[in-house]
């Protein structure tokens, strides 16, 4: 594939100030005509709040609210499905949580001894290119929802791997991961989730 210089170079910047996080992805070729911005508020509820990001009422009126249910197999593409990453089948040995049934959110709301959290994500996509802008922006939104769904399913099913980690453990793992990624960028082929249009 031939592409202009810089057209395939993406730059990602991320800020983690829990409970708020922000990631911005830009492209040096498209400059101000391309942006993916993901803002996340983590709240101790079950997804019941409206307009957590405090958008202007006119903007909020036109925002598409998409609910991700990690236990709903219908929200996962067949090519992404992994039985060992299915919250409807997983049971934590260390915490006793899971498997998640169809009414898991209602059941969780009635438990007083089980912490929970909702990640409210605001995804802003700008792709200014005449003739394909809406198609590409909608495609990116669809891929972001797919990424969030798969990641949060994994996060729940990997509970026993992270539930007892200390902050020192996490910082050590971050350092190790950075070293591995730096090494992979130099010598390994590109890896990761490939986009699908269905």
pLDDT digits (tens, 9 = 90+) for 135-184: 999 999 999 999 999 999 999 999 999 999 999 999 999 999 999 988 98
Q: How far is CA 127 from CA 7, 9, 13, 43, 79, in A?
A: 13, 15, 18, 30, 27
List alpha helices for the chain, DSSP H: 57-62, 104-109, 133-157, 159-162, 167-187
Q: Rounded to whole angstroms, how far apart are CA atoms 16 and 40?
A: 9
Q: Rounded to whole angstroms, how far apart are CA atoms 110 and 40?
A: 26
pLDDT given for residue 1 in this prediction = 57
Residue predicted with more confidence, 13 or 186: 13
Joined together, the tokens standing for residue 25 give 């992805």
pLDDT digits (tens, 9 = 90+) for 80-127: 999 999 999 999 999 999 999 999 999 999 998 899 999 999 999 999
Query: How many Cβ atoms sit within 10 Å of the Cβ of residue 149?
Result: 19
pTM beyond cutoff 0.85 = yes
**pLDDT band with cut points at 50, 70 and 90 for residue 32:** very high
């Amino acid at each position: 594939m031939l592409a202009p210089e810089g057209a395939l170079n993406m730059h990602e910047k991320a800020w983690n100030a829990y409970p708020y996080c922000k990631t911005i992805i830009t492209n040096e070729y498209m400059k101000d005509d391309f942006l993916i911005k993901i803002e996340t508020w983590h709240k101790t509820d079950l997804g019941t709040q409206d307009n957590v990001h405090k958008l202007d009422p006119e903007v909020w009126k036109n925002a598409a609210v998409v609910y991700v249910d990690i236990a709903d197999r219908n929200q996962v593409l067949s090519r992404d499905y992994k039985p060992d990453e299915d919250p409807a089948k997983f049971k934590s040995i260390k915490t006793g949580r899971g498997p998640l049934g169809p009414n898991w959110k209602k059941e969780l709301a009635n438990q007083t001894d089980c912490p929970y959290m909702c990640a409210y994500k605001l995804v802003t996509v700008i792709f200014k290119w005449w003739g394909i802008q809406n198609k590409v922006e909608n495609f990116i939104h669809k891929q972001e929802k797919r990424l969030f769904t798969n990641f949060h399913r994994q996060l729940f099913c990997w509970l026993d791997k992270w539930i007892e980690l200390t902050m020192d453990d996490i910082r050590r793992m971050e350092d190790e991961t950075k070293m591995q990624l730096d090494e992979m960028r130099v010598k390994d082929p590109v890896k990761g989730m490939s986009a699908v249009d269905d």
